[in-house]
Amino acid sequence: MDTTLQQTDSLLEAIAPAPGEPGREVLDPATGGLVGVAPVHGLAELEAAIAAARAAQPAWAAAGHEARSAALNAAAEAVEANAEELARILSREQGKPLNGPNARFEVGACAAWLRAAAATVLEPETVLEDGTTKAVLHYRPIGVVGAIGPWNWPMMITVWQVAPALRMGNAVVVKPSNYTPLSVLALLRVINQALPEGLVTAVAGDREVGAAITAHPGIGKVMFTGSTATGKAIIRSSAETVKRLTLELGGNDAGIVLPDADPEAIAEGLFWGAFINTGQTCAALKRLYVHEDIYEDVCRALAQYAAAVPMGVGLQEQNLLGPLQNRAQYEIVARLVEAAKASGAEVLLGGNPDEDQPGYFYPTTLVAHIDNANPLVAQEQFGPALPIVKYSTVEEAVEMANGLEVGLGASVWSADRDKAREVASRLEAGTVWINAHGVVHPMVPFGGAKHSGYGLEFGVEGLKHL
């Protein structure tokens, strides 16, 4: 065993349950091998975490912005010092490869977002000063924030939730996904090297713990990234205590390729917009609308690029795509692709998983000549299968893109940026990208429209919500 893997195992041992305490084995979705044992926390551990957070929060808030920023920068340094170990845990547990926009990228983004939160300034704002009246708007911490995270980007989204909450003077109780608890527990163990005791605690419990967080009177706000169905349940559960909420919920992002686009020039961007993290990204491109004049050319260029991107076990350095993280998600993707095939749609690439291969690998799949009402288009597949729909007029494309109840992201692809912006202005989504898809930045506000949630994250606007 090499030194890095030994260090990774050492970190996994540090977060494992003590002898006699309940635990759950976590398996590698690429190989089926054991990654580690995660603790199984319950309501007692949650109550202890909330009590510790409430005790630690007043002093943290009183420390002021400068001291809190220094601690966040120190946390970023700790993440960087442990980056390779964290990336290997993430790759083994979540399945994403080390290289490309994957595990090492995600760990690096954690450090970058911690530093961005530390550097973002939110000053008191004078909203009225007319010689008679002066009104100044101040932003105060809420107290204790509950952060409920997903399994697709478990480390990065945890930092998206935790870093700004800490920057504003809050304490945080984190509930990681049951699919990826080790990644979050390891990350927070590293980050906590730079933070006061009790300020941030992970409670690796089941749905009972998540439900208790959303209803607990000691938690003033919940941040959640996940499905729309779970988001609605959180809204209902939080109503009695009138919690503040930031919800980043399901999406089924549309991309529109205008007839003046260059198929060869946009193929790489389209591919990574759709297939980053093997399609397991909330704001990934999940349905592509291409004008009939260049439809065949776009299909051909995209298929050629996609066929060359290697998929396999994440710890193998050459791979850029990995498995689906869990069996349930694999079955969703397989079901939707089979429905598309049964409808007569044309599979340009993939669609033929090797059932004898270990792990939850579903091949990169492109499906053309598919009806807009097909389940692969109308339902969020959250995996490596992209439907490509032909359209005749821009009005038709916009209508189809806006036709679903979700609206997290969207994109427009064109050689004419002014024309692309005009089309973008008609799309119902929280973020619309031009000639890209899913690109986020710590200073650019991010949030959903329609059933894709509400509240904003990132930058100054994100701090205002905490």
Confidence of residue 8 (pLDDT cuts 50, 70, 90): low
Nearest to 229 by CA among 438, 445, 406, 42: 406
Q: For residues 202-230, give the mean pLDDT.
A: 95
CATH fold label, 3-127+138-249+452-464: Aldehyde Dehydrogenase; Chain A, domain 1 (3.40.605)
pLDDT score at 356: 83
Confidence label for 2 from pLDDT (cuts 50, 70 and 90): very low
- Using left for φ > 0, alpha for ψ between -120 and 50, and beta otherwise, residue 100 falls in left
Q: Are 389 and 290 in contact (CB under 8 A)?
A: yes
The band of 455, judged by pLDDT with boundaries at 50, 70 and 90, is: very high
pTM greater than 0.85 (yes/no): yes
Q: Give the DSSP letter of residue 429.
A: S
Strand pairing report for 409-413 and 406-407? unpaired
Q: Beginning with the edge strand found earlier in the chain, give each strand of the sheet holding 365-368 in spatial order.
A: 346-349, 365-368, 385-391, 285-291, 253-257, 409-413, 431-434
The residues that bridge with 349 in the sheet, in sequence order, are: 366
Say how far apart CA 89 and CA 86 lie, in whole Å.
Answer: 5
Question: pLDDT tens across 271-308, in order?
Answer: 999 999 999 999 999 999 999 999 999 999 999 999 99
Dump pLDDT digits (tens) for 382-393.
999 999 999 999
Asked if 282 is an active-site residue, the reply is yes
| Per-residue pLDDT at 357 | 86
| Tokens 């930092």, residue located | 159
pLDDT of residue 4: 45
Greater confidence (198 vs 356) lies with 198
Per DSSP, what are the bridge partners of residue 457? 446
Residues 263 and 261: their CA atoms lie apart, in Å, by 6
What's the CA gap between 213 and 253, in Å, rounded? 29
Per-residue pLDDT reduced to its tens digit, 63-115: 999 999 999 999 999 999 999 999 999 999 999 999 999 999 999 999 999 99
Specify the pLDDT at position 9: 76
Q: Is 248 a catalytic residue?
A: yes
Mean residue pLDDT across the chain:
95
**pLDDT confidence of residue 265:** 97
CB 353 within 8 A of CB 334: yes
Please state the rounded mean pLDDT for residues 42-62.
97
- Right CATH for 253-440 from 3.30.2270.10, 3.40.50.300, 3.40.309.10, 3.40.640.10: 3.40.309.10
% of the chain surpassing 70 pLDDT: 98
Q: What percent of the chain has pLDDT over 90?
A: 95
CATH 3.40.309.10 segments of the chain:
253-440
**DSSP conformational letter for 289:** E
Which has more confidence, 250 or 362?
A: 362
Q: What is the pLDDT of residues 122-160, one digit of tens each?
A: 989 999 999 999 999 999 999 999 999 999 999 999 999
The one catalytic residue in 85, 93, 106, 248 is 248
For residue 3, the model assigns a pLDDT of: 43
**49: its two tokens:** 């975490």
Pairwise CA distance, residues 246 & 53, whole Å: 20
Average pLDDT on 39-56 reads: 97
3-state secondary structure of 434: strand
The structure tokens listed for 89 are 């845990």
Would the CA dihedral through 90, 92, 93, 97 be positive or negative?
positive
Helix boundaries (H) for 132-243: 154-167, 181-191, 207-215, 228-238
Query: Where exactly does CATH 3.40.605.10 map onto the chain?
Result: 3-127+138-249+452-464
CA-only gyration radius of the chain, Å = 22
Catalytic residue (one of 110, 282, 299, 428): 282
